[in-house]
Amino acid sequence: MSAGLFVAGTDTGVGKTYISCLLLHALAARNKAVVGMKPIAAGCENGRWQDAELLRFASNVDVPLNDLNPYALQAPIAPHIAALQENVAIEIAYIGQCYDRLTRNAEVVVVEGVGGFLVPINAHETTADLAKALDLPVILVVGMRLGCISHTLLTVQAIKHAGLCLAGWVANCVDPGMLAQEENIAALQQKVDAPLLGRVPFAETLDLTQQAQRIEVDKLIQIIGQGD
């Protein structure tokens, strides 16, 4: 039976794609057949959607790009605005169909959200609605920088309000100059009722294989097992 994870972020720019790739690498190292999914990508550079390409590269199962990334929008702006400008109707039901096809090819599908957890994806629905429709355990990426405690606790509340399971969180150290970083992580460990799955240090050069070792893969596999 296939399993899935939904990767949400406390904000945009906190490293959801990077952490999603680390999750894929960590699971692949345990001989899992894995594939990443970017339901909505907003922002094209030279004809390429980098987030979708990175997830595809980190996967060890080959799938059609249209299933891995059903909606590829040109502008690097909020997805509902980009979709409106491009006359694209984002439909959660279609994303669900693509997700179902991915599950036929992989043991684990890592689904990366877009923007923050409550960012609109169309006139009436948000990323939270997408996560709810897929009904997957949520992994929260916390960008460790000033203000992260409030951002994290608000996002945790939103995840719980949506009736979803917050299965774990990852501290992604995006600001190398952050003061009291460990104290902030400790505070979040006290306040977030979910396990810390890894501390990922800031790195100028990204070595995904090495950095994937920062993920506590045994905890991750346990989460996946509970979702079967």
Helix (H) or strand (E) holding 170: strand 166-172
Helix (H) or strand (E) holding 190: helix 181-191
Which segments of 29-102 are extended strands (E)? 34-37, 40-42, 71-73
**Dist CA 111 CA 101 (whole Å):** 13
Residue 62 CA, distance from chain mean position: 19
Of the candidates 13, 21, 22, which has an alpha carbon nearest to the alpha carbon of residue 42?
13
**Dist CA 155 CA 9 (whole Å):** 8
Examine the residue annotation and report whether 191 is marked as an active-site residue of this protein.
Answer: no
**Dist CA 46 CA 76 (whole Å):** 13
Give how far Cα 228 sits from Cα of 4, 130, 185, Å.
9, 19, 30
Catalytic residue among 16, 38, 132, 160: 38
Active site residues: 38
